[in-house]
Structure 1
Amino acid sequence: MNGYHADPADDSVVGDRPAEDLRNRTSIALFDNCRGVRKTTLTYHLAHMFRRLGMTVLAVDLDPQANLTAMCLDETEIEELWDNESELIAQGAASSALPGTGRVNTGQTIADAVRPVLEGTGDVAPIEPAQLQPGLWLLAGSLDLSRFEDKLSNEWFKTFAGDIAAIRTTTAFHRVVEQAADLVGADIVLIDVGPNLGAINRAALIAADSVLMPLAADLFSLKGLSNLGPTLRGWRRDWQQLVLPRVREGFSAPRAEMRPLGYVIMQPEMRLDRPLKAYERWLQRIPWVYSAAVLGERVPVCADDRYRIATLRNYRSLMPLALDARKPMFDLKAADGALGSTQKYVQTCYREFRDLAEGVLARVRQLGTE
C-alpha cells in the first residue's frame, strides 16, 4: 500500500490519502470482554498510524473510564472539558463559566452530547471534536457517561416495538459520532469501548461497521471470546430483524453490522512464573474459539489462524517514555529519551503498527467485497 511516510522519526509530512483503500467512511470498534489487554493503547496508536497513512481519523471514547481521553489530552485540557459539571450529575446546578475566564464552556464530551436524551429534554446535542493533530480528532469521553447506562438498558426492549423515544435513545451514540465524522470529514472512525457487555457498550457496538478484538493468550481472553461472540450475533439479529423495520424513513439509524475484522494478539511480558509453553498453549486455542464463538462456524478448524491480523510485542520500555512525551511510541525521538538501542526499538514499533494498520485496511476491503 502506498502513501505512508517511511521515516518514523519525521512527523512533518503525512502521506497521500489512500482513497483506494476505503471507498466510504468506515467505523471500527475495538472491543474485548476482558480487562488488561491494552485495548486503549491499541486504539490510540492505530489512530495515529492511520493518520500517518494519510487518512482523516476520528477517535471516539465511549468507555466511561475515559482512558483514551486521558491518553490524548493533558490534565489541564481535561479539566476544562469536565469543569462545567455535566448535568448528567449536576442537573443544571453547576456554573457554566470556566473559573476566572468568563468564557462559557458549552460542554464538548460524549456525556454532554447525550445529556438532553438522558433528561428527556431533547435530542442529541452536537459537539465539536478536539483536534489533536492535522487529520486526527477526538470525541472526548467523560466519567459522567456511566449515568447513561440505566437509561440505555431500560429502553432496549422498547425498541423492538418501534418506540420512537427508545430508538432515539439507543441510536444516540451513532448520531453523535455521525455528526462529528461529517464535521471533520473523517475517513475512518475508531471507537474505544469498555470491557463488558453492558448497555453502553451495546449502543456503542451497534454503531460500528466492524469490530477488532485485541486478545491476550490466556484463559480470560478465551472466556471473554466465548461470551462475546454469541452476544454480538444476538444484538445484530435483534436490531436488524426487530428494530430496523420499525425505524421511520429519514431517521439515521445504524445497521448494526458489527462485522468481525479479526483479532490482534497482544504479547504479555514473559515472566518466570508464566513460561513460554503456557503462552503457546493458549495461543493455539484462540483460532478455534474465535471461529466457533465469534464467527459461529459449525466446524471450526483449530489450526486456522487467518483471522489473526497481527501480533504486537509488549513494548514495556517505550510506553513510559510515550506517556511522558504525550505521543505514540513509534514517534519517540532522542529528545524524549529514546536513545541508542531504544531508537531501534522505536523503529520496530513503527513497522509493526504500520503493518497492523495496513492489515486492518485490507480486512475492511475484504469484508466490503464479501
Structure 2
Amino acid sequence: MTSIALFNNKGGVGKTTLAYHLAHMLSRLGYKVLAVDLDPQANLTSMCLDESEIEELWNTSSELIAQGAAPATLHGTGRVQEGQTIADAVWPILEGTGDAAHVEPAPLKPGLWLLPGSLDLSRFEDKLSNEWFKSFAGDPAAVRTTTAFHRIVKHAAQAVQADVVLIDVGPNLGAINRAALIAADSVLMPLAADLFSLKGLSNLGPTLRGWRRSWQTLVLPQVPANISAPAATMTPLGYVIMQPGIRLDRPVKAYERWLQRIPALYSGAVLDQHPPSHDDNQYRIATLRNYRSLMPLAHDARKPMFDLKAADGALGSTQTYVQTCYREFRDLAENVLRRVDEVR
C-alpha cells in the first residue's frame, strides 16, 4: 500500500478536483483506492456524497434540502453512517478520553472508498499545534495526538485492503496539514502557472524538509513501542500543471513565463538540488487542460467528468471532450503509479 497526499500551499488550483478524478481513475484501472478527506473544508466529501448523505453523516440538517435547492433522498442507503468521519475519529483525543477511534470508510463504487471529512475537524488544529513540540520530548500523549491521522488512515486502508491511499489536505501550512503530510509516503503537487503557485512552492519545499527532519531525528527515536507512528517520508513525486481556462490546447502566452520558472524552482525549493534543474520533463507528471465546461454536468450527475454520457447532457462535441478528459486522466494515473515505483 502507498499513500499520496495532494498538496499545494496555494488554494484554488483544482487540488480536490484532481484528487477526486485521480481516485476514480485509479479504481477504474483495477486498484483498490481509499480517498481520505483531511481538509477541514470537507470539499472532497461534498464531491463524493450527495446532500442527504452528508446530512446523515454529520447529523446536521441541510439548509439546501430545506430550501429545496438540493434533492432529498431516502436515508439508510448504507453508504454512510452517522459519526463516521475523521473528526469523529479524533474526538476521544480532544476530550482526553482515549486514542483515536476507528471509522469505517464509505463505499463509493467497487474498489473505491471514502474516509469522510467534516468541518468539525478544524477543532483539532489547536490540539495538534500544542502537542507538536511536546512530542519532541517523547511525551506519549503528544505523540499519540500527532500520529492520530496515521493510525486512522492505516486502519481504514487495511479494512478495505487498499492499494493506494489519496489524501486531500487544505491549502495551508498549519498543524492539521503537518500531521496529514507526516502520515503520507509521498506528495503530489498540483500547480497553476502563476505567481501565487510559485510562491507556494518556495514556502512548501523548506517547510516539508523541516517537518521531515524534525520528525525523523527528534521524534521517531523516542516514540513508545505501543504507538504506531509514520516514517514521515513525504517523498515529492512531482507536479501536475493545471492549465487556465482561456485556451484548451496550451497555456496562454501570459502564463508561459511562469511555466518556464517552475522546473528550477521545484528542483531547488522542493528537492533541495543545487544547482537546480531546468528540465521540465523530469518532474512534471502531467499537464491537464481546463475542463470547466464539464464540471457542472459532472456535479449534477454525481460522477467524474470522464464518465459523462449523453444522458448526462454530454452531447455532440462535448462527448469528444469527455473522451479527451478520460485519456488525460488515465495517462496521469499511470504516470503517478510509475513515479511511485521509481521513488520507492
Task: Place the TM-score, normalised by the shorter chain, in its bin.
Answer: over 0.9
Aligned partner letter, 2:7: F
Contact 1:49 1:354 in 2 (8 A): yes
- Correspondence 1:361 to 2:337: yes
Shift of 1:118: 1.0
Residue in 1 that maps onto 2:163: 187
Alpha-carbon distance in 1 for matches of 2:264, 2:82: 49
Instruction: List aligned pairs for 1:42-61, cutoff 5 A.
Output: 42-61=18-37
SS for the counterpart of 1:298 is coil
- Correspondence 1:312 to 2:252: no
Cα gap change, 1:304 to 1:341, in 2 (>3 Å): closer
Deviations 1:304-337 (A, max 9, x none): 4310000000011111100010000000000000
Counterpart selection for 1:325 from 298, 301, 326: 301
Alpha-carbon distance in 2 for matches of 1:40, 1:235: 23
Deviations 1:106-138 (A, max 9, x none): 510000000001111111111111000011000
Instruction: List aligned pairs for 1:3-14, cutoff 5 A.
Output: none
Residue in 2 that maps onto 1:163: 139
Aligned pair count reads 327
SS for the counterpart of 1:46 is helix
Contact 1:47 1:59 in 2 (8 A): yes
Looking at secondary structure, tell me which structure has more helix per residue: 2
Contact 1:284 1:303 in 2 (8 A): no
What runs of 5+ residues in structure 2 fail to find an aligned partner?
62-74
- Correspondence 1:225 to 2:201: yes
Deviations 1:158-187 (A, max 9, x none): 010000000000000010000100111101
Deviations 1:217-273 (A, max 9, x none): 0000000000000000000000000000001224210000000000000001128xx
- Correspondence 1:216 to 2:218: no
SS for the counterpart of 2:36 is strand
Shift of 1:303: 3.8
What TM-score, normalized by structure 2, do the two folds share?
Answer: 0.92
Cα gap change, 1:332 to 1:319, in 2 (>3 Å): same
Contact 2:86 2:117 in 1 (8 A): yes
SS for the counterpart of 1:138 is strand
Aligned partner letter, 1:264: V
- Correspondence 1:302 to 2:284: no
After superposing on structure 2, the runs of 4+ consecutive aligned residues of structure 1 that deviate more than 3 Å are: none
Instruction: List aligned pairs for 1:33-182, cutoff 5 A.
Output: 33-83=9-59, 107-182=83-158
Alpha-carbon distance in 2 for matches of 1:130, 1:315: 27
SS for the counterpart of 2:239 is strand
Residue in 2 that maps onto 1:237: 213
What TM-score, normalized by structure 1, do the two folds share?
Answer: 0.86
SS for the counterpart of 1:306 is helix
Aligned partner letter, 2:135: T
SS for the counterpart of 1:55 is coil
SS for the counterpart of 2:103 is coil
Aligned partner letter, 1:120: G
Contact 1:84 1:107 in 2 (8 A): no
Aligned partner letter, 2:316: G
SS for the counterpart of 2:88 is helix
Aligned partner letter, 1:111: A
Aligned partner letter, 2:143: I
Residue in 1 that maps onto 2:325: 349
Residue in 1 that maps onto 2:266: 290
SS for the counterpart of 1:305 is helix
Deviations 1:140-171 (A, max 9, x none): 00000000000000000001000000000000
Cα gap change, 1:132 to 1:304, in 2 (>3 Å): closer
Shift of 1:343: 0.6
Aligned partner letter, 1:309: I
Alpha-carbon distance in 2 for matches of 1:303, 1:76: 48
SS for the counterpart of 2:315 is coil
